[in-house]
Amino acid sequence: MGIPENIDALLVKFDITQEALARIAGVAPSSVNGWRNGAVPRKNAIEKMCHALEITRDDIMSDEFGLAAKEHGRYAIPSNAKHPSDPRPAYAPLLGRVHAGDACEPDVIDDRIPVPYEVREAHPDGYFLEVEGNCMSRVYPEGCHIYIDPRQQPRNGSVAVVSIDGADYVMRRLYNTGRTVVLSPDSWDDCYEDIVLTGDDERTVEYVGTVVWFQPSEEME
């Protein structure tokens, strides 16, 4: 058993469709179909699935310790197995905008947008922010909606939304060494620089939440 069986087991375990998994991973449905036929998911897609579904990399990639082995006693899912049905609808509020660039004050938007049920269930206190700016364009392009969990503490390298000086929202990759916080861009444009805050800095940083899922802008039309 390998990646194809693990992906099939994942779809069954979380009762989601191939299209829903594609949205979670930030890829096209054809990519998920490729994984089910032996293609290898990219690192970024694996990380998004692990964050959203609270699974491990081994669950997806391992022959011996993957989901197929765990969920089906090391037997592959039969080819005639019934595929999971569409997930139940779920919604989360769109509370504002976050700038993927220079820090700016957040806007407040009174709106609600759909989110995969399994993501909402895993992160019930989450909400959406709309991305403005391009400093995170490699992973979260301008115009997309990011779903953040205010209760999930960011790990080093996680994409987090932070409030600077009690007012400004900014989204960056976060690295915390104890006395120094580095907020790094992940952009196709090399004009963006790190925001570095040290223990001697008078500026303050508050963690607003960790990005756990996003909705591409083309799916919002």
- Domain with 35, as residue range(s), is 3-71
The b-or-e profile of 51-86 (16+ CB within 10 A means b, else e) is bbbebeebbbebeeebbbbbbbeeebbeeeeeebee
At residue 221, the pLDDT reads: 47
Q: Is residue 142 part of a domain?
A: yes
DSSP per-residue letters across 51-82? HHHT--HHHHH-SSSSHHHHHTTT-PPPTTPP
Identify the domain boundary among 71, 104, 129: 71
Q: Is residue 79 part of a domain?
A: no
**What contacts 152, CB < 8 A, 6 or more positions away?**
123, 209, 210, 212
* Contact assessment for residue 123 and residue 114, using Cβ atoms and an 8 Å cutoff: no
Distance separating alpha carbons of residues 204 and 166, to the nearest angstrom: 7
CATH of the domain at 66: 1.10.260.40
CATH of the domain at 184: 2.10.109.10
Q: Is residue 82 part of a domain?
A: no
Identify the domain boundary among 14, 36, 71: 71
Q: What is the dihedral of CA 133, 137, 139, 144, to 10 degrees?
A: 50
At residue 165, the pLDDT reads: 81
* Contact assessment for residue 146 and residue 140, using Cβ atoms and an 8 Å cutoff: yes
At residue 102, the pLDDT reads: 53
Query: How many CB atoms lie under 10 A from the CB of residue 95?
Result: 17
At residue 121, the pLDDT reads: 87
**What contacts 124, CB < 8 A, 6 or more positions away?**
none
pLDDT tens for each residue of the chain, 221 residues long: 588 888 888 888 887 888 889 888 988 888 888 898 888 898 899 999 998 888 888 889 888 778 877 765 544 444 455 455 455 678 887 877 776 555 445 555 656 788 888 888 889 999 888 888 888 888 888 888 899 999 998 888 889 998 888 767 789 999 988 788 899 998 888 898 998 988 777 778 888 899 988 887 655 44
Q: Are residues 67 and 95 in the same domain?
A: no
Q: Are residues 156 and 190 in the same domain?
A: yes
Q: How many domains does the chain have?
A: 2
Q: Cα 86 vs. chain centroid, distance in angstroms?
A: 20
